[in-house]
Structure 1
Amino acid sequence: MLVLGIESSCDETGVALYDTDNGLVGHTLFSQIKMHAEFGGVVPELASRDHIIKLPQLINQLLDQTNTSKKDIDAVAYTQGPGLIGAVMVGACFATAFAKSIGVPALGVHHMEGHLLAPMLEDTPPEFPFVALLVSGGHTMLVDVKAIGQYEILGESLDDAAGEAFDKTAKMMGLPYPGGPLLSKLAQSVDASRFTFPRPMIDRPGMDMSFSGLKTSVRNAIKKEVENETFDEQCQKEIAFGFEHAVCSTLSIKCKRALEHTGHKTLVIAGGVSANVRLREQLGTMCQSKRSKLFYARPEFCTDNGAMIALAGALRLNAGQSSTQSVDVKPRWPIDTLEPLS
């Protein structure tokens, strides 16, 4: 079965072809970062309009690159939610119309399930069951994954997601949009920091997280350095190091608790923040101490992309899940309400 995947949940337009027998055939992506940078963040209306323009272009490009005809496509999978309502609606309407035009089924896919399954695009995929740490721009949660669709949320952020904390902290530091990756780059340029920021909620039982207090601590540190006229480039790097180390340490502690709670020996990290080098290092060290295995996707499949949607859709379609030609988007959609596969 050859499945066309379409991702349009936010500010990246991604399309991919996934074959259930041969794996990923090809993928392409267009990022709207330059367009939104002028405004310091994603403008939903502009994002939606750009998806309309880019989707047909990218699909034609993908078909040409992979020497694939429309008649070779057996199904279309698209992001049904969660995400920006306008952006998701564009992708859903386009995917449904495209599928109908070539006479194949269309299936809506949960965006975060796509992230969760993205490490399965690698040559050595994880096996069920496992603990998944989902750390994307708007979500941070720990999930007990018994099988596809069998998800139990063990803990999640009570306020900002880790990705949001990175971006908002970067903005406080005066870094341009999108600031999260730039903050990480600064943090990687030093080996230590004179700033020690709190690890939120690690002294409380459970696996929930919070990053608002950490942001406040960073804001206070920046304010003090500015008042003392010592907020220079080196100071900026050290604050970035201290912040990143606090986030990664917190996530590592919570992941360790999740592995102990479930008894699983496999940890999967997915979502944009899973590409963070320090996070991978700390989780790798923790998993080694627990005699557990750590899995993650290559960087290009950590951020939003069509390949993960094509894969998730293909696995569900191949397992017999029915599809629909109606458009029903879900800007809010808890992952633990998904239908398990038989």
Structure 2
Amino acid sequence: MAEEAHSQVIDQVVQEALDKANLTARNLSAVAVTIGPGLSLCLRVGVRKARKLAGSFNLPIIGIHHMEAHCLVARLIERELEFPFMALLISGGHNLLILAHDLGHYIQLGTTIDDAIGEAYDKTAKWLGLDMSRSGGPALEELAQEGDAESIKFSTPMKQHRDCNFSYAGLKTQVRLAIGSHNINPEIPISSASSQDRRSRADIAASFQRVAVLHLEERCDRAIEWARKIEPSIKHLVVSGGVASNQYVRARLDHVVKKNNLQLVCPPPKLCTDNGVMVAWTGIEHFCMGRFDPPPPADEHEDYVYDLRPRWPLGEEYAEGRSEARSLRTARIHPSLTSIIQASLQQQ
């Protein structure tokens, strides 16, 4: 279904983007497209369209790492943001702490071992009967403002692990138990809840948000310490991805960076969620460095096997960041973007 939904709109979306920019495909210098990580079926739709467009107009093509695009779009907004810097990338599918040495050169300080924070926000919002039409995160953030964040003593995840990895599966379980103990029926929307029921839901939302973001704060604090061992000159922490639109998240992380004498850089909310601008900008950065593939053939065969990288690490894992708590599968993981670029540089 996801592949079909993408296929139905991609031609229209690309044409609308060109129209809004007052351009035609003949005005383009290159085509950038996300090749991973993500769902193969959806990636294939985008890559097929990009290769067809590039082939038709003899344009170079640039394969983009989705998470690198989230990271680098901050450089479009904050022109003084220079390498090296740190980045926290938080979304529905990813939690990633990285040290960005240079374009295409990243060290992974921490990642999620199960569920990402955005997924935890969405599930909690759904269980609380919130309006999911604009995704659960904004609805939960709004409800949390009505609640007492100290009313329910959820445990902060992974306190016993002295690393920078993330886990939200256990916190989700705690939330479900709290919802059950308060006799909250998720089938009853928040708009129909009694005043007492609404207060209980607000307290759970606020308590969840406090602990979920505290987990981010603690991991960021340690990651800054690690990053400074490697690159003492870092001055910025970039926070991007869909969850970076959350104002409570921004405020708490701003406290962390100020405590560590860093500056917080957050793209505007419209550039935090998945968007074409971040992919285009990352394409520009690599294109200017001469990192692109030649135009594909205009008559590429339908059976052509596309280079899709559904499980594609951004950087190499920092030695101190390896955790016994890690449960990530390692089968069929593509070599990291950093290792690929470093290998190509050595061959030049």
Give the TM-score taking structure 1 as reference length: 0.82
Counterpart of 1:48 in structure 2 is: 3
Cα distance in 2, alignment partners of residues 202 and 278 from structure 1: 22
Contact 2:244 2:272 in 1 (8 A): yes
Larger Rg: 2
Query: Which of 26, 44, 54 pairs up with 1:99?
Result: 54
Q: Note if 1:245 corresponds to 2:210.
A: yes
Contact 1:259 1:265 in 2 (8 A): no
Counterpart of 2:176 in structure 1 is: 219
Counterpart of 1:165 in structure 2 is: 120
Counterpart of 1:25 in structure 2 is: none
Which residue identity does 2:169 align to in structure 1?
Answer: S
Cα distance in 2, alignment partners of residues 151 and 231 from structure 1: 49
RMSD (Å) for aligned C-alpha atoms:
2.1
Q: Deviations over 1:197-221 (max 9, x none)?
A: 1111134311112111111111111
Counterpart of 2:141 in structure 1 is: 184
Cα distance in 2, alignment partners of residues 90 and 321 from structure 1: 23
SS in 1 for 2:257: helix
Structure 2 counterparts to residues 1-342 of structure 1, below 5 A: 45=1, 47-177=2-132, 178-190=135-147, 192-226=149-183, 232-263=197-228, 264-324=234-294, 325=296, 327-336=306-315, 337-338=336-337, 339-340=340-341
Contact 2:114 2:169 in 1 (8 A): yes
Moved more, 270-279 or 198-207: 198-207
Which residue identity does 1:291 align to in structure 2?
Answer: N
Cα distance in 2, alignment partners of residues 111 and 227 from structure 1: 38
Contact 1:79 1:309 in 2 (8 A): yes
Contact 2:61 2:292 in 1 (8 A): no
Q: 1:224 to 1:216 in 2, by over 3 A?
A: same
Cα distance in 2, alignment partners of residues 125 and 222 from structure 1: 46
Cα distance in 1, alignment partners of residues 131 and 17 from structure 2: 32
Contact 1:202 1:254 in 2 (8 A): no
Q: Percent identity?
A: 38
Cα distance in 2, alignment partners of residues 179 and 322 from structure 1: 37
| Superposed displacement of residue 112, structure 1 | 0.8
SS in 2 for 1:209: coil
| Superposed displacement of residue 123, structure 1 | 4.2
Cα distance in 1, alignment partners of residues 9 and 215 from structure 2: 38
Cα distance in 2, alignment partners of residues 175 and 162 from structure 1: 17
Moved more, 81-90 or 226-235: 226-235
Moved more, 281-290 or 201-210: 201-210
Structure 1 residue runs of 5 or longer lacking an equivalent are 1-44
Cα distance in 1, alignment partners of residues 81 and 160 from structure 2: 31
| Superposed displacement of residue 241, structure 1 | 0.7
Aligned length, in residue pairs? 297
Q: 1:191 to 1:221 in 2, by over 3 A?
A: closer
Cα distance in 2, alignment partners of residues 340 and 190 from structure 1: 48
| Superposed displacement of residue 330, structure 1 | 1.3
Contact 1:115 1:134 in 2 (8 A): yes
SS in 2 for 1:197: coil
Cα distance in 1, alignment partners of residues 278 and 148 from structure 2: 34
Contact 2:64 2:279 in 1 (8 A): yes
Contact 2:147 2:204 in 1 (8 A): no
Which residue identity does 2:239 align to in structure 1?
Answer: I
Cα distance in 2, alignment partners of residues 88 and 74 from structure 1: 22
Q: 1:61 to 1:136 in 2, by over 3 A?
A: same
Contact 1:225 1:231 in 2 (8 A): no
Moved more, 49-58 or 311-320: 49-58
| Superposed displacement of residue 227, structure 1 | 7.6
Cα distance in 1, alignment partners of residues 25 and 96 from structure 2: 38
Structure 2 residue runs of 5 or longer lacking an equivalent are 186-193, 229-233, 297-303, 316-335
| Superposed displacement of residue 192, structure 1 | 4.1
Which residue identity does 2:291 align to in structure 1?
Answer: Q
Q: 1:175 to 1:211 in 2, by over 3 A?
A: same
Q: Deviations over 1:213-266 (max 9, x none)?
A: 111111111111108999711111111111011111110111111111111332
